[in-house]
Chains A and B, each alone.
Chain A
Amino acid sequence: MNKTLEYICSAIFGVSVFLFWWLLHPGALAFQEQNQLFLFTMDYLAERVAVAGGFADYIAEFVTQFNYVPVLGEALMAMLFVVFQRSIARSTGKDEWYVLSFVAPVMMLIYMSDFYVLLSYMVSLIIAVQLCALYRNHPNVIFASAATVLGFWLIGPAVFVFTAYAAFKEKNKYSTILISLAVAVVVVSKLTYMQQYPWKTVLCGVNYYRRAVTVPAMQVCIAIASVLPAVLSGFLPKPKAYVNALLGFAVVLGGVLSVYKTHQKDLVELIAYENLVRNEDWNGILKRAEKYQPNSELGSVSVNLALFMSGRGNDFPKFKQFGTKGLIMPRVRDFISNSASSEVFWRLGMINESLRYAFDTQESLVNNRKSGRWMSRIAECQILNGRYDAAEKYLDILSHSLFYRKWAEDQRQYLRNEEAIADNEVYAYLKSVRYKEDFLFYYPEMEKMLAKLYMENTNNIMAVRYYNAWNTLDKYEADDKNTYTGNAHGN
């Protein structure tokens, strides 16, 4: 394959990746950004590199923070995928089987539509494959040994892609040495700085998958597919043009079919809502919901919030409903289910409940990360609660980030300054509509709590909207009509 055609293919692949995120998974990358908080501090770096693979994770989180601006994130992601593909191509040292270099990136693209997959895995593989390319040009067993040991610390077990390649290339006693070294580095790591991780996690990576003890088969397959072109390049004869064409067709067809088969429309919509709620794009949510009705309680929470916030409450019956849980979810221990409900509470003036849901959403990040979005909300709630020292702590942390810094600096004016709070439209309103009397929140009595909220301040229009909606849906639930569908006709 000539160079120009290679570049064209890579460019087309990059554009496809961009479109994949932009059109098929809107908000997915922003959701990833929401689930981490990259800080420009030495403590943050130290915390990352304290575990195997932490350096790759640091780079990945640095890149992921740009998903705050979704188009920028999608463009960066496209570039990274092209870098991954080009790295694999480079590792083969031959242009004839260029098409094989697309296999692993296409698999990775499909794999990453699972929001538990972290970018750090691809970053690690890029570095591992680059090591293969380096080794191919400068084979040296000392380099291979050093790269295995240091690489494990920097990028985690993905480095064994390189170790396997180098061992395969050596085909002598050094192969055994390299493999022994790989085993030794895992054992030593586990017994020293990785004592607080299970063996499985040490062996398969701390930061490749959000739930570290889970190792999806796809993760292993992609690792193999990343190094296979480099391994095979020495054996395979130069392919005929039609073979390349057929292979290219197979990769494209396989990719498209896989994307189609793995596409979970309901989940995609939930994630899309998530980003739209975050940006208060109520019309955006309703537009999506009109095209594809929400199919879960969680989706319904976002759609109903959009209805009430956009003043289209009368359209409530047009959308598929899922009972009262579709207005406000009871607490669920994960990092998505309570997010829209936290936003509902915030707009209702139920500050402590918004705080609780925001806190629990942040703390549900199973890879122990913090969230810029939720930390901001927690800080806002603490400002409203007058816990300024706690709010200041969060604002100070957010000040070390790229995209939350300005907001955090601006929020400092409200610390210990009741006048400034009174001058802020949102804060002043929320302070005026929140509960005056202190009592214990009890989800089964939400209807009464909404009524009380409204009775304590009749300016709280959201409270009366939610009260009415709750009443309506509760009545249907009581009548054993599990799903109130209004006039919606499903999808």
Chain B
Amino acid sequence: MKLTIKIHILATLTAISLALASCGKETVVREELPQIFPDYIGVTVPAGIAPLNFDLPEEYSKVYARVTDNNGNCITAKGSYAGFNVNEWHKLTEANAGGTLYVTVAGYKDGRWEQFLPFMIFISRYPLEDYGVTYRKFAPGYETYSKIGIYQRNIHNFKEEPIVEGTLLPGQCMGCHTANATSPDEFLFHLRGKHGATVVQKDGERKWLETKTDRTIGRTAYSYWHPSGDYITHSNNLVHQLFWTGNNDRYIEVYDDASDVIVHDVDNDEFILSPNLMTEDFETYPAFSSDGKTLFFCSAPKVQVPAQAQDLHYNLCAVSFDAQTGTVGHQVDTLIYASKMGKSVTMPRPSYDGKWILYSYADFGCFPINHKESDLWLLDLEDGSTHPLQRANSAYCESFHNWSSDSHWILFASRRGDNLYSRIYISEIDDEGNASKPFLLPQRDPSFYHKTLFTFNVPDFTKGKVKFKTSAAYKEAFSDKRTHLTVK
């Protein structure tokens, strides 16, 4: 295999040198890997993903890239950045599922070409057949967003389209788009503001819900669908945020004055309350297991906030749930006792194959996106062992993660780009729970991420294209006609 790679690299280098030399320019060979953006060197991608277009640093006015496989197939790109043809890219990656592509790059600078050492891109044996990803976009800041929206992006090409934007519902803040295990047919999002509501769409019909009741502490916040689609579990949070004054790489601290977890019977518009999920402590971030029999959630011993905000440490807990009767069990188990270690576990996301829980691990608090130290960890549900996803993590924050429908891919938001704007990364998870080096969601023009003033928030995979009728949405939102949930 090694000999094959060497022969292959040699052949590629020769071909590129000849191609560039034919332009009549001197070519310099540099014994180093290119500094490309995004960093796609050594990443693992699914076949059929959008082309991994990339660029060299600014001083290179032109880029030439040649991608080859072990069978002599090759595609090239040349221009102000390396932008590959979508069809050619698909053909090449699909022909090499489980294999390797070799990329040789040259950059034009100071009147000559500089050629770098080739690098590899691994094509996973696991296909990623989901249609795309959904996410929320807004300017990363504090309490006000001029433009906010929920979007979907086809990950096999570069097409992005809005599901719902703030221009349609002016003055209302939009919460996270939450789908039932990547289903485009069952999803919800929260609308905040004067005309707030929880919008639940199931099988083409949507309801505008008022989720505040006199027996719950507030409106619903973080939600997760039961695999049957008959229930949704929500957290009720009295959310606050305060702002750090010093220069310590942190700006915002989000905390709850109080929080509980509840279950929502979707068809009957009722809440199911359980004393185990509504204690003095702070319960939040609920999620159902893939078989629907367990309800995971995070719980932190109560402290005085905001004074003791840095002492907020959430544990990962579990309680049984019976979907037939809609009842929550009495025995709460602590799966990860993070508070004992002075750490905080949040945002548990069970894989849909029932093997893992992916979660955020930070020093304290309930909102890891603002914690630079926040990393992704994996809990093995079979043996209870847990480990960090070392290849996926960085020195910056990773959070807002979730699974592809086949549970072999994860996506997450990371601020590793500039320590402020979150971008979506995708990583393969193998059968042993190891993550591959993640790749940044490709864009047609690689400079997109530097130019955009939007951060990508709460990404999730979606099996198909989400359909949300916009024509009546304004009227429905501003009519304030709401279905009021009651407590069972």
Contacts and interface: CB of A to CB of B under 8 A. Distances in A.
Nearest to B452: A393
A368 B146 contact: yes
Interface string A173-207: 00000000000000000110001111111000010
A390 B139 contact: no
Nearest to A331: B143
Interface stretch (A86-94, A294-302, A431-439): A431-439
Nearest to B419: A387
A364 B243 contact: no
Contacts, number: 127
B146 A385 contact: no
A309 interface: no
Contact of A198 (B146, B250, B474): B474
Interface in A290-328: none
A195 B169 CA distance: 12
A441 B242 CA distance: 6
A331 B450 CA distance: 29
Contacts of A211: 170
B246 A366 contact: no
A365 interface: yes
Interface stretch (B18-26, B118-126, B160-168, B322-330): B160-168
Interface in A365-417: 365-370, 382, 384-387, 389-390, 393, 396-397
A442 interface: yes
Interface string A38-58: 000001000000000000000
Nearest to A378: B141
B245 A212 contact: no
B260 interface: no
Interface residues of B, number: 40
B145 A437 contact: no
Contacts of A363: 139, 141-142, 144-146
A434 B170 contact: no
A351 B146 contact: no
Interface residues on A, range: 35 or more
B170 A213 contact: yes
Contacts of B248: 438
A200 B471 CA distance: 12
Interface in A314-372: 331, 333, 350-353, 355-356, 359-360, 362-370
A362 B140 CA distance: 12
A438 B141 contact: no
B417 interface: yes
Given A212-B167, A387-B420, A393-B450, A368 B147 contact: yes
A257 B177 CA distance: 53
B167 A196 contact: yes
11 contacts: A195-B162, A352-B243, A362-B146, A366-B171, A368-B147, A387-B420, A390-B420, A435-B246, A438-B247, A440-B245, A449-B245
Interface of B: 139, 141-147, 149, 162, 164-168, 170-171, 242-248, 250-251, 253, 306, 309, 417-421, 450-451, 453, 470-471, 474
Given A350-B245, A387-B420, A442-B242, 10 more contacts: A196-B164, A196-B470, A197-B167, A198-B170, A333-B144, A356-B243, A362-B146, A387-B418, A393-B418, A439-B246
Among all A-B residue pairs, the 7 with the closest Cβ atoms:
A438-B246, A389-B418, A198-B474, A440-B242, A363-B144, A368-B147, A196-B165
Interface of A: 43, 190-191, 195-201, 206, 211-213, 331, 333, 350-353, 355-356, 359-360, 362-370, 382, 384-387, 389-390, 393, 396-397, 434-442, 449
